[in-house]
Structure 1
Amino acid sequence: MRMFRFLPLLALVLPAAAVAEDDAGEIVVQGEGLPLPPGTPAYGAVIVDRARLANSASNRIESVLSDIAGFQQFRRSDSRSANPSAQGATLRALGGNASSRTLVLLDGVPMADPFFGYIPFSALVPERLSLIRVTRGAGGGAFGAGAVAGTIELASAGREAMPALAASAFYGSRDATELSAGLATGVGGGFVTLSGRWDRGDGFQTTPFAQRGVATVPARYEGWSTALRAVAPLGDDIEIQARGLVFRDDRTLRFRGADSGSEGQDASVRLIARGPWQVDALAYLQLRNFSNVVVSSTSFRRSLDQRNTPSTGLGGKIELRPPLGDAHLLRFGADLRRASGDMFEDAYNASTGALTARRHAGGRQTTAGAFVEDDWTIGRLVLTGGARADHWSIAHGFFRARNAADLPTADNRFARRSGWEISGRAGALLRLSDAVALRGAGYTGFRLPTLNELYRPFVVFPITTQANAQLKPEKLKGVEAGLDLAPLPGATFGITAFYNRLGDAIANVTIGANLRQRRNVRAIVAKGVELTGAGRWGDVALTASYAYSHATVDAPGGAFDGLVPAQSPRHAASATLAWEPRRGPALSATLRYVARQYEDDLQVDALPHALTVDAVARLPLGGGFSLVARGENLFDETVVTRNVAGSMDLGTPRTLWIGVKFEG
C-alpha cells in the first residue's frame, strides 16, 4: 500500500522521543503550534472546544462545523450521502460553487483535495481533535492564498486531552455500524497517538418516494481512516511533530451502480521552536484519488465512469518570530503549495451501454508566497496587520478525448499562465474593560481556480456543466466590525457586521437548455450580521449562533444579475443546550435552521427551509464505560439537498444510535 511510503517520515521522529530528560528534569512537550498572536480576536474567531467535538449526534466533523452559522458545504448532505467532490466548505453565503472558498487546515496543513478542492470530511474524526477555530473573512499569514471566505483551523488533541485507551461501538438505524479506537502513550519526553475508525451503513433513500424507480437504491456507505501522530522533544524548547493519515471512503448515490470512492495518504513533519526566536517549519505530502460512476436516470445504465483521478499535493512553510519585546509580535516567512492531478474517464451511450469516448485531462498549479504580520499592543489596544505577496502559475493543462474506435477527437493544450497577487489584512482590538471589547478589520485575498474547475466537465442529470481553462483567480475585499461582551460570569456574546465583495467569482452559469459553464462573474457581494453566544451556569451550558447574509450576484447584462448566488441561504441558526454534570447522566440537544436557498443561478429550483433537532444522552456505567444514545433529525424533517426541475435528493432522515464508549 502507498501508506508505507510515509513510514520513513515517522521513523525520523520516534527515536528522538527516547530522549526523556535533560539536566533540568523532564522536557515538556505540548504537541501544538506557536501561541496565538494577541491580535487574533480582532478577526472575530469562533472556537469549538473538545467537549462539543465529542458530543455530536452524527459524530461527523461537518455536523459539528454547522454549529457555526454561515458555514456550509455546496449541498446540505453530509459525508455519508453526498458526492465527495461536492464537499467544498465556505462561509458568509459566498456559495454557488463546489470548491472550497474556506482554507481548512489540520495542524497547519491545507486539507483540500489537490484536484477538486473538496474537503475529505469523513477522514477528519472529531475525537482526534482538541479544538476547531473558525475565522470568517479573508486570511493572511501562512497559506493565506485560498482563504477568501475564511479559515478553519483543526488542532489535533495532545497527550493530556486523550486517554491512554479509548474505544466505542455504535449501532444505528438502517443497520449502521460505527467502531473506533485510540491509543495514546508517552514515549520518553514525547508521546505517540494511534487511532482508527470504521463505519458503514445500508443508508437511506435519498430519492423521494414518488420519484423512485427500479434502479433506485439507498445511499449505502462504508469508510475507514487511520491516523498516527508522534511528538518528540529535540531540546528544552524545540519539538518535532509528525503525522500520518490514511483513509478510504465508498458511497452509492441514488442508483444501483452509481458508486463513488475517495482515498488518501497524507504525511507531514513540523518543527516548533519556542525559544527567543520562535520557529514554525512544516512540510507535507498528500496522495489522493477519486472515482465515480454516473448512472442515467432514464435508462439506469452507466453513462460515465470517472475511473481514476490521482492527484498530488505537496508544500511547506516556515514562519519566524524574532524577540522584539512585549509590545510587538512580528512574524514573517514563506510558504509553497503545488497541486497536480489527472482525470481519466470513459463515457457511455446511456441507451445501449456502448463506449462512446475516453477522456484524459489534467494540469498543475503552484503558489509561492511570502508574508509578514505584526501585532502591536498599546495598553488595552492591539493593532494587527500584515501583507502577502504570492506568485502563482497554472501549467501543463490539457484535455484529450478519443472515440470508441480509439481515434483522437480532441487534443487541447492550454498555455501556461502566471501572475502576482498582493493581499493583506489589518485589524484593531480595543478592550474597553474586562467585559467589553470593540474590534474591526479589513482584508483582501484570492483563490486560484482548481484543476477540476479548469479542465473537468461534469453531468448531474439533466444538467451538463462545462469546464473553463481560462478562469481567472477570485479576489475578495472585505471589512467588518464587531462587539464582544461578557455581561455575566461564564457568559459571552458577540456581534459582527460585515461586507464582502468577491470579484471574478467562479460560478456555474447557465448558457443554454440543460447546459452550464464555469465562468467568472463580475462579483458576488455579501453583507450581513453574525451573532454568537455562549454561557455556562453550573451543570448547564448553552451555545448559539445566527447568521443573516444578504448575498447578490453583480453581473451586469446577465440573466442572474441581482439574484442570490446558488446554494446561499439568507438565514442560518444553531443552538445547543446541554446538561453536563461532572458525574452522572448528561444530555444535550441541538437545533439547526437553514433558510430557503436555490439550486441554480437563475433562482428557478428552490430548496425549502429546514429545521432539525439532534440529541445526545450519556449514562456512566462505571469503570470508564458509558452508555450513549444519539439521535439525528429527531422529528424526521424533510431536508431537500438537490432540486433540478423537480428531480430531488433528500438529506439524512431520523437516525438513532445506541452504543458504548470506554475511556481509561
Structure 2
Amino acid sequence: MTYRTRLLACCLILPLAGPLAAQDEGMDDAVGDAAVEEIIVTGRGLDPALSTAVYATTTLERETIVASASGRIEDVLRGIAGFQQFRRSDSRSSNPSAQGVTLRALGGNATSRALVLLDGVPLADPFFGYIPLSAIAPETLGTIRVTRGGGSGPFGAGALAGTIELESAEPGAVSPLLASAAVNDRGETEASGVLTQSLGRGFAIASGRWDRGQGFFTTPDNQRVPASARAAFDSWNAALRGVAPLTDTVEVQARVAAFRDNRTLRFEGADSFSQGEEASLRLVGRGAWAFDALAYVQARDFGNVVISSTRFTPTLDQRRTPSTGTGGKFELRPPILEGHDIRIGADYRRADGQLQEEALNAVSGAVTERRRAGGATSNLGLFVEDDWQIGPLLINGGLRADRTSITDGFYRAVNAAGVVVSEIAAPDRSDWALNWRAGASFNAARRLDLRAAAYTGLRVPTLNELYRPFVVFPVVTEANAALQNERLRGYEIGFDWQPVNALVLSVTAFDNEVKDAIANVTIGPNLRRRANLPAIAAQGIEANLAAKFGTVSLDGALAWTDARVRGRGTSADLDGKRPAQTPAWSASMTLGWQPAPRWHLAATLRHVSAQFEDDRQSDRLAPATTIDAFVAAPLTRRLSAVLRGENLTSETIVTRNQGGSIDLGTPRTLWAGLRYGF
C-alpha cells in the first residue's frame, strides 16, 4: 500500500480500536469461551426494502459466486438476465477503460449505465465511469443483488439501467481462513487469501488476491505480425475491513482497499495500467429509527500507450489520468406510520480528474503534442420512498430530486514548441431534475406474485465523455463538452411463480427509453463524435429459472431485447438501427450436481447473439456459444481440489471488429488448483 492508503487506513480503523478494546477489557481467563467470542454484528447495511419484491430483482448466493469457471466477477454476473459489458472480453484481456457495465441491452460507449455498489459504495471510476472488475475478488462476497430498471433511492442518479449491489460475506458464512491457488494450461496463476479474526463482539477481515499470466493472442492467426503480443496481465488487490458495535443497535464499519492492474493488448509495448485506493466509513443503526450513514473517498489513476498498427511504434502516451471520487449518503427509516416502511435521505457524489497525455511521432518517437483535459461533476440527491403493505398488496412510491453540476471543464493541446493548437474552456452549468418510481406487487395465489412498475432515471456524463478524445486506429472519436444528462423512462410487468418448493420462475416484460442517450456517432470517414442521440428505445423479456431437486440444481437466465436508436438531424441515418455492442439475445444455463458434502460439479452453457461494433452496423460481431465447467472435490476436511474449464469447445469469440481488424476473446482454458476453507 502507498503512504496515502496507509494514512487512510489509520484514519478509518482507529475509530474501531476504542470499541474493540473496551469489549476486551475485563475479560477473564475464559477468553476462548463461545459466549465471549460470539459475533453479534453483521457488517451489512440495512435489510433490503420491501420494494425489492416490486421490481425485477435477482439474488446470487455465495455458492454460485465462488463457483465460476474463470474465477472473475464478470463471469459470475453473466448469469443474470440482461447483464452486459461494453465488450465481450473479460477483465484480463480488455482495456480497463472499456469495462462499462449495463443492463437491459441499453447500449453504451464503455461508460456504465448500471450502478455498481460494494457495501453501499459506488465503484465506477470517477473519470471514465468503468468498473474496476479485476479489483473485485468474488471469494470475499456473500451475496449479489441485481435490480434491473431505473431506481430513485440512494445513489439513484447512476442507476439508469439498474443496480448491482455487492455485499461482503459475513464471518459466520465463511471459515476463519480461506486460501486458494490455481494454474492454467498457459502457465497463468491466481492466488487469494481471506483471513477473518473475531475481536470481542466485532471482527476484522483482511483479504488479498494476485492474478498474473502471459495471456493469449487476441489477434487471429492470419492478422498477426512480429509485433503482435499476448494479452498479458498482472493484477493484485488488497483490502482491510473492520466492524464493531457502538451500542446494542448501532455498528461501525470501516474499509480500506487498494489495487493495481497492468495489461498488454494486441502489440508489444501497448501497455496499460489502472490503480486505485479507497476508504469508507459507515454507521448502521438497527433500532426503531433505523439509519445508514456512509462516507467514502476514492483515488484512481489510469495510463495507456497506443501503438501504431502500421509501424508498431508508440503514437500516444496517455501517461496519467488521476481522478478522485468523494461522497456519502444518509438514509433514515422512521417508524411513523403502521404498515408503512418509509425511507428518507440524501446522497452526494463528486468526481474530478485530469487527463495527461502526449502524442508521439511514430518514426522518431518525439513528442508532437501535449494534451490536458478534465473537470468536475457532482450530484446531490434528496429522496423519499414508502412501501405500504395492505394485506396481499404491496405498494411502492418514491420521489428523488437531483442537483447535478458540471464545472471547471477544459481541453488544451499544445505542440512541441508550446504553441496552443486547440483549447476549450467549457462553461459551468447545473440543473435540477425530479425522478420518481412507483410499483405494486400482488400475491394473487399462495405461490404466485404479480408485479408492475414505472420509473424514471438520470445519468450525468462522465469527464471522459465530455472532454477526452481518443483514437482506436484508424478511427478518431471526439469528445463533446456540451453533452446533456441522459434521462430514462421505463415500464415493466412481471410475475414470480413457485409451483413447487424446488422451482422458482421469474418473468419480466419491459419497455425502457433513454432520452439524450450518449453514443459514439459517425460524422465522417474514420471520424466519430460523442453525441446525445434523441433516444434509445428497448423493449424485451427477461426470465430467470432456479430449480433444485435433491442433489441436482438448474439455474437459467434468458433475455431478449428489441433495442432501436431514434435518430434525427446528424443521427438521422441511425434511426431504427440497433445500438452498437447490443445483442438481441443472451442466455445462460447452469446444471449443478452435489453428490456428497463439499462436492460440487457444474456445467454452464452460454449464448450471445450477433451484435455490431459500430453505430452504422457495418462491422458485425458473430454470435458465440460457450461451455464452461467447474469441479470441486474434497481432499481433507477443509482442503479441496478444484478443476475449471473456460470455453471448453474453444468457440471463436469476436470481441472487436474494426473494419476487419479483429480481436478475440478467451479460448479454451483449463485450470487446476487447491482451495482451503471454502
Question: TM-score normalised by the shorter chain: which range applies?
Answer: over 0.9
Give the equivalent residue in structure 2 for 1:364: 376
Q: Which amino acid aligns with 1:69?
A: A
**CA distance in 2: counterparts of 1:283 and 1:17, whole angstroms:** 21
Give the equivalent residue in structure 2 for 1:5: 7
Once the two structures are superposed, the pairs formed by residues 28-39 of structure 1 within 5 Å of their partners are 28-39=40-51
Task: Give, in angstroms, the shift of residue 139 of structure 1.
Answer: 1.1
Task: Give, in angstroms, the shift of residue 517 of structure 1.
Answer: 0.2
Once the two structures are superposed, the pairs formed by residues 503-652 of structure 1 within 5 Å of their partners are 503-557=515-569, 558-583=572-597, 585-652=599-666
**CA distance in 1: counterparts of 2:156 and 2:454, whole angstroms:** 15
**CA distance in 1: counterparts of 2:25 and 2:414, whole angstroms:** 65
**CA distance in 1: counterparts of 2:188 and 2:446, whole angstroms:** 48
Aligned counterpart for 2:276 among listed residues 250, 260, 264: 264
Give the equivalent residue in structure 1 for 2:501: 489
**CA distance in 2: counterparts of 1:18 and 1:490, whole angstroms:** 47
**CA distance in 1: counterparts of 2:443 and 2:238, whole angstroms:** 43
**CA distance in 1: counterparts of 2:465 and 2:383, whole angstroms:** 27
Give the equivalent residue in structure 1 for 2:402: 390
Give the equivalent residue in structure 1 for 2:30: none
Q: Which amino acid aligns with 1:6?
A: L
The C-alpha deviation readout for 1:116-171, integer Å capped at 9, x for no partner, is: 00000000111110011111111111100011100000001111112111111101
Give the equivalent residue in structure 2 for 1:149: 161
Task: Describe the SS at the equivalent of 1:127.
Answer: helix
Once the two structures are superposed, the pairs formed by residues 164-313 of structure 1 within 5 Å of their partners are 164-313=176-325
Once the two structures are superposed, the pairs formed by residues 39-54 of structure 1 within 5 Å of their partners are 39-54=51-66
Q: Which amino acid aligns with 1:639?
A: I
The C-alpha deviation readout for 1:34-77, integer Å capped at 9, x for no partner, is: 11121211112001110001100101000100001221111001
**Is the 2:542–2:559 Cα contact (8 Å) retained in structure 1?**
yes
Give the equivalent residue in structure 2 for 1:350: 362
Structure 1 residues 578 and 22, CA, compared in 2 at 3 Å: closer, same or farther?
A: farther
**Is the 1:196–1:226 Cα contact (8 Å) retained in structure 2?**
yes
Structure 2: which 5+ residue stretches go unaligned?
A: 27-34
Task: Give, in angstroms, the shift of residue 16 of structure 1.
Answer: 1.8
**CA distance in 2: counterparts of 1:14 and 1:559, whole angstroms:** 63
**Is the 2:111–2:128 Cα contact (8 Å) retained in structure 1?**
yes
Task: Describe the SS at the equivalent of 1:452.
Answer: helix
**CA distance in 1: counterparts of 2:17 and 2:669, whole angstroms:** 42
Task: Give, in angstroms, the shift of residue 568 of structure 1.
Answer: 0.3
Give the equivalent residue in structure 1 for 2:29: none
**CA distance in 1: counterparts of 2:43 and 2:431, whole angstroms:** 37
Q: Which amino acid aligns with 2:647?
A: N
**CA distance in 1: counterparts of 2:206 and 2:42, whole angstroms:** 17
**Is the 1:21–1:27 Cα contact (8 Å) retained in structure 2?**
no
The C-alpha deviation readout for 1:541-598, integer Å capped at 9, x for no partner, is: 1100000000000003511111000000000001111002452632101111000000
Task: Describe the SS at the equivalent of 1:504.
Answer: strand
Aligned counterpart for 1:83 among listed residues 91, 95, 115: 95
**Is the 2:511–2:539 Cα contact (8 Å) retained in structure 1?**
yes
Task: Describe the SS at the equivalent of 2:499.
Answer: coil
Structure 1 range deviating more: 615-624 or 567-576: 615-624
Task: Give, in angstroms, the shift of residue 351 of structure 1.
Answer: 3.7
Task: Describe the SS at the equivalent of 1:508.
Answer: strand
- Are residues 1:373 and 2:385 paired? yes
Q: Which amino acid aligns with 1:9?
A: L
Structure 1: which 5+ residue stretches go unaligned?
A: none
**Is the 2:100–2:129 Cα contact (8 Å) retained in structure 1?**
yes
Task: Give, in angstroms, the shift of residue 615 of structure 1.
Answer: 0.3
**Is the 1:20–1:27 Cα contact (8 Å) retained in structure 2?**
no
**CA distance in 1: counterparts of 2:338 and 2:177, whole angstroms:** 41
The C-alpha deviation readout for 1:173-212, integer Å capped at 9, x for no partner, is: 2110101111001101111110100010100000011111
The C-alpha deviation readout for 1:189-240, integer Å capped at 9, x for no partner, is: 1111101000101000000111111100100000000011111000111000
State the TM-score, normalized to the length of structure 2: 0.96
Give the equivalent residue in structure 2 for 1:654: 668
Give the equivalent residue in structure 2 for 1:103: 115
**CA distance in 2: counterparts of 1:158 and 1:15, whole angstroms:** 22
**CA distance in 2: counterparts of 1:429 and 1:416, whole angstroms:** 43
Task: Describe the SS at the equivalent of 1:104.
Answer: strand
Task: Give, in angstroms, the shift of residue 352 of structure 1.
Answer: 3.6
The C-alpha deviation readout for 1:579-626, integer Å capped at 9, x for no partner, is: 024526321011110000000000000000000010011110013110
**Is the 2:39–2:198 Cα contact (8 Å) retained in structure 1?**
no
Structure 1 residues 372 and 22, CA, compared in 2 at 3 Å: closer, same or farther?
A: farther
How many aligned residue pairs are there? 664
State the TM-score, normalized to the length of structure 1: 0.98
